[in-house]
Chain A
């Protein structure tokens, strides 16, 4: 089975641009998560979907961050407009719905905002 895939792996944007990151979860997984990873803050939850429904939307990230789940096998994270402080690695993860199931992470997208 394919794991979680994310594209692009690297993105460089100018301040004020709109960028869209993409994620494909593990086939059959109902839960999908977006995280931001920085050295200072570690892993921060941005969004959580269950069966395409938004379950949690990280409060601090609502203004310029919008995650969508277009179908059960594809999700996007839009950042609009980008700011230099958004430079980070953005990770997507998926898991089965119930129980003590682990989350499987994708390789991440490293975003640099100039």
Chain B
């Protein structure tokens, strides 16, 4: 079956510094797409990034991620974290229209 691993439950970073949230996956099937969802406090999860192309960088709102099928990874990065980036981040893969989510990483950006 499919599974997604986010190794860090909590990440704290100082404003202005780079941040990286790890995401690796395991799948035995053809997977359609990979996503990063962000959930701000008391809000619904929403898509931040998505990709289905190997080795192609995708960017949105200052964040970027590159799908690397050779290493089964889809890490999320930002060069300069902002206070407003504090949120819960989920990595997910989509197979036959079902999303398989990682356990989530709570990002806290401190002044």
User: Which positions in A face B, CB cutoff 8 Å?
Assistant: 4, 31, 33, 41-43, 45, 48, 50, 55-56, 91, 95, 97-100, 102-108
The answer to whether the Cβ of B97 comes within 8 Å of any Cβ in the partner chain is yes
What is the minimal beta-carbon distance from A59 to any residue of chain B, in angstroms? Answer: 12
What is the minimal beta-carbon distance from B66 to any residue of chain A, in angstroms? Answer: 16
Q: Is the CB of A105 within 8 A of B45?
A: yes
Q: Is the CB of A31 within 8 A of B97?
A: yes
Number of interchain pairs (Cβ within 8 Å):
46
Name the segment of B20-28, B68-76, B99-107 touching the other chain: B99-107
Q: Main SS of the interface on chain A?
A: strand
Q: Is the CB of B43 within 8 A of A107?
A: yes
Query: In the complex, A20→B49 CA distance in Å?
Result: 33
Contact with A along B45-56 (1 / 0, CB 8 A): 111001010000
Beyond A43-B101, A102-B47, A104-B46, 11 additional contacts (C-beta under 8 Å) are A33-B99, A43-B104, A48-B97, A48-B98, A50-B97, A56-B98, A95-B97, A98-B97, A100-B52, A106-B44, A108-B44
Chain B interface residue count, CB cutoff 8 Å, equals 19
Q: Which residues of A contact B52 (CB under 8 A)?
A: 100
Q: Is the CB of A91 within 8 A of B44?
A: yes
Task: Decide: A43 near B90, CB < 8 A? Known: A100-B33, A103-B99.
Answer: yes
Task: Decide: A99 near B32, CB < 8 A? Known: A42-B104, A43-B90.
Answer: yes
Q: Which residues of A contact B43 (CB under 8 A)?
A: 107
Q: Which residues of A contact B44 (CB under 8 A)?
A: 4, 91, 105-108
Query: In the complex, A109→B98 CA distance in Å?
Result: 21
Q: Which residues of B contact A99 (CB under 8 A)?
A: 32
